[in-house]
């Protein structure tokens, strides 16, 4: 019985995570994609939490400041 409850909880949790990730990624104005040798990394920018930081990142991206920069 406990295993069934745990499985149900995990399914609901996975669904909530999927919905929240897709909600952030759905805004192309605030989505940054970093192309790495092993694939793309999508980053959801959050201007609602850090508007000045997001604007600075967008400015630097437009200027090409992150082009060919190694990310660790």
- Sequence-ordered alpha helix ranges (H) in the chain: 2-25, 51-63
Structural domain includes residue 38: yes
Which carries the bigger pLDDT value, residue 1 or residue 56?
56
In angstroms, what CA-CA distances link 30 with 5, 9, 40? 37, 31, 16
Structural domain includes residue 72: no
pLDDT, tens digit (0-9, with 9 covering 90-100), for 16-54: 776 666 555 578 999 999 888 899 999 999 999 999 999
Q: Show the domain range for 41.
A: 2-63
Tell me how long the chain is. 72
Structural domain includes residue 69: no
Query: So what's the pLDDT on residue 30?
Result: 94
Q: What is the DSSP letter of 64?
A: T
Measured over all CA atoms, what is the biggest interatomic distance in the chain, rounded to whole angstroms?
57
| pTM reported for the whole predicted model | 0.58
Query: So what's the pLDDT on residue 46?
Result: 94
Structural domain includes residue 70: no
Is the confidence at residue 63, as pLDDT, over 80?
yes
Q: How many domains does the chain have?
A: 1
Query: So what's the pLDDT on residue 58?
Result: 95
């Amino acid at each position: 019985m406990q295993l069934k409850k745990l499985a149900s909880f995990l399914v609901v949790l996975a669904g909530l995570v999927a919905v929240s990730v897709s909600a952030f990624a759905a805004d192309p104005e605030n989505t940054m994609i970093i192309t790495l040798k092993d694939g793309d990394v999508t980053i959801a920018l959050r201007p609602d939490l850090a508007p000045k930081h997001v604007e600075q990142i967008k400015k630097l991206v437009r200027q090409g400041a992150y082009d060919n920069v190694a990310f660790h």
